């Protein structure tokens, strides 16, 4: 038996779509990292399509997560009365907490750019 990829596909299906449906299908195929033909073929055969995550966004999330870890480490040092944080006053701690919240908000925005397009389907 020949491999599926080495066989020539000779039959074509014609499916009329509206312009917005065409756009949506093309976007879904792009998110899955597939050609439109492959995407439709796999969806039509009942395969579950898995989206390809945007690696730049994933790297950005990893950077933000690292920032949160460093900020959390500073807060932990202060809470344990570490000698290195003896000069930290309440003003500094409030700024640190504000930065942690800002960084969490930043992470949420990046996650929305990845998750939201799929949730709106």
Model confidence, pTM: 0.46
Position 58 scores a pLDDT of: 79
Residue 43: band (very low, low, confident or very high) from pLDDT cuts 50, 70, 90: very high
- Give residue-wise pLDDT tens across range 73-98: 888 888 888 888 888 888 888 898 89
Are the beta carbons of 41 and 11 closer than 8 angstroms? no
pLDDT at 64 over 80: yes
In three-state form (DSSP H/G/I as H, E/B as E, the rest C), the secondary structure along the chain is CCCHHHCCCCCCCCCCCCHHHHHHHHHHHHHHCCCHHHHHHHHHCCCCCCCCCCHHHHHHHHHHHHHHHHHHHHHHHHHCCCHHHCCCCHHHHHHHHHHHHHHHHHHHHHHHHHHHHHHCC
């Amino acid at each position: 038996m020949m491999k599926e990829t080495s066989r020539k596909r000779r039959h074509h299906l014609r499916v009329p779509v509206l312009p917005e449906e065409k756009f949506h299908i093309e976007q879904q195929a792009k998110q899955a990292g597939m050609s439109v033909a492959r995407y439709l073929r796999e969806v039509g055969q009942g395969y579950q399509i898995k989206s390809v995550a945007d690696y730049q966004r994933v790297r950005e999330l990893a950077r933000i997560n690292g920032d949160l870890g460093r900020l959390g480490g500073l807060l932990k040092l202060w809470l344990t009365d570490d000698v290195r944080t003896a000069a930290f006053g309440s003003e500094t701690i409030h700024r640190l907490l504000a930065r942690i919240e800002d960084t969490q908000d930043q992470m949420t925005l990046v996650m929305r750019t990845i998750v939201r397009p799929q949730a709106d389907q």
